[in-house]
Amino acid sequence: MNQYDLNPDVYNDDVKKDPIRAGFGRGLKKAGQQNDYIVALCADLTESTQIGPFRDEFPDRFIQVGIAEQNLVTVASGFAAAGKIPFASSYAAFNPGRNWEQIKTTIALNNQPVKIIASHAGIGVGPDGATHQMLEDIAMMRVMPNMIVVVPGDSIEAEKATLAIAENGKPSYLRLARPATAIFSTNDSPFEIGKAYILRGGNDISLLGTGAMTYQLLIASKILSEWGISAEVVHVPTIKPLDYETILDSAHRTGRVITAEEAQINGGFGGAIAELLSEKLPTPLLRIGIQDRFGESGSPDELFNYFGLTGEHIAKKVQDFINETPQYHRDY
């Protein structure tokens, strides 16, 4: 296996943090510099969804649609029909929370290469509370045919993911988190749509993470190593198409799997992995994430604690899971 280029400071308390959405903002500006056909549409959330840098450099290619998320994506579909590459940005709670049908009909089924940018996704939205904490979007978007679903793990990867979807010619969904999030990758780390990456090798269990949860898995794996447990950490930034090969290979080697996401486990990333494993390689599985309930107000750190999503919580869950679940090996 190729060595993933991990940020050497990733396990330090003072690891650099940056909002994942900020990486999107930088990526969009860069994409705009590389490709004149890129346009950005926003529904009255230009600064917080990080469209500002693009708008400032390319004011003519920035389109304000007002607080109208149904119009946001359907106008974007029209831009795509006219040969443009539209990035349609709002909060995940509304985009795709409010406009899923329009995305399905006018973008996915219509096969127009609109990029749905969903900022402020996940429990990490914090004090705004349950109405604004979009937890169902992974499930909603990954069931949609033609749709690529990408959930970058940090701001550096978000920038790469933005550049990648700008050029993939397909309807694409990019899920971004609001708070400052630890950076685990580097400029030299690989990113390719459809690929999962082993960040840390291990023998006892595979920890599969997407988005900001991958960092928490790295922290968990470090704690687990102190407890004598060797956990492999697999980062899965593309939920659709899923990297079957890397995931199944890891599950096959370790015989136990845990998934972690800042979203509903039902139908979400955990759901995707459960589907894959139960069909291809039945393996004991524990899904960490939001367990069929709504979120609530609190600081992001408080909420990660409350919902058991920190590295410390996860380490404990992994230990319990290993104690009660025999490692499942099979000869395929």
Partner 1 sequence: MGGKLTISQLQVKANSMRNDVIRMLEAAGSGHTAASLGMADILAALYFDILNIRPAEPEWPDRDIFFLSNGHTVPIQYAAMAEAGYFEKDELLTLRKLGSRLQGHPERTKLPGLENTSGPLGSGLSQAAGFAYSLQYLDNVKHRFVYTIMGDGELDEGNVWEAAMFAGKYKLSQLIAFVDRNNIQIDGNTEDVMPLGDLRGKWETFGWHVIEIDGNNIQSIIDAVNLAKAITNRPTVIIANTIPGRGVNFMEYDYKWHGVAPNSEQANDALGELEVAAATIKIKDMSL
Task: Note whether 291 binds partner 1 by CB under 8 A.
Answer: no
Catalytic residue among 69, 157, 159, 261: 69
**Residue 69 falls in the annotated catalytic set:** yes
Residue 256's nearest CA partner among 207, 196, 197, 198 is 207
- Using CA atoms, how far residue 168 sits from 123, 179, 196, 331, in Å, is 29, 27, 18, 38
Among 101, 245, 302, 312, binds partner 1 (CB under 8 A): 101
- β-strand 257-264 against 285-290: which pairing, if any? parallel
Task: Note whether 190 binds partner 1 by CB under 8 A.
Answer: no
Q: Which residues sit opposite 231 in a β-bridge?
A: 205
Binding segment (CB under 8 A) for partner 1, from list 98-106, 200-208, 266-274, 289-297 = 98-106
Q: Kindly tell me which of 39 and 285 has the beta carbon lying closer to partner 1.
A: 39
Helix (H, G, I), strand (E, B) or coil at 239: strand
Among 29, 55, 61, 120, binds partner 1 (CB under 8 A): 61
CB 243 within 8 A of CB 200: no
Task: Note whether 111 binds partner 1 by CB under 8 A.
Answer: yes
Task: Note whether 59 binds partner 1 by CB under 8 A.
Answer: no
Q: Kindly tell me which of 77 and 210 has the beta carbon lying closer to partner 1.
A: 77
Q: Pattern of binders to partner 1 over 118-147, x per CB under 8 A?
A: ------------------------------
Q: Which two tokens stand for residue 60?
A: 């003519």
Task: Note whether 82 binds partner 1 by CB under 8 A.
Answer: yes
- β-strand 148-150 against 238-240: which pairing, if any? antiparallel
The strand ranges marked E within 139-196 are 148-150, 172-175, 180-182
Burial of 133 (0-12, 13-18, 19+ CB in 10 A): buried
Q: Pattern of binders to partner 1 over 62-81, x per CB under 8 A?
A: -x-xx-x-xx--xxxxxxxx
How many chain residues bind partner 1 (CB under 8 A)? 28
Instruction: Report how far residue 102's alpha carbon sits from residue 109's, in angstroms, rounded to the nearest whole number.
Output: 10
Q: Fill in the amino acid letter for 37.
A: Y
Cis peptide before 59 (omega within 30 of 0): no
Binding segment (CB under 8 A) for partner 1, from list 58-66, 168-176, 252-260, 279-287 = 58-66
Q: Kindly tell me which of 39 and 117 has the beta carbon lying closer to partner 1.
A: 39
Task: Name the site residues for partner 1 (rule: CB under 8 A).
Answer: 39, 60-61, 63, 65-66, 68, 70-71, 74-84, 86, 101-102, 105-106, 109-111
| Residue positions annotated with a catalytic role | 69
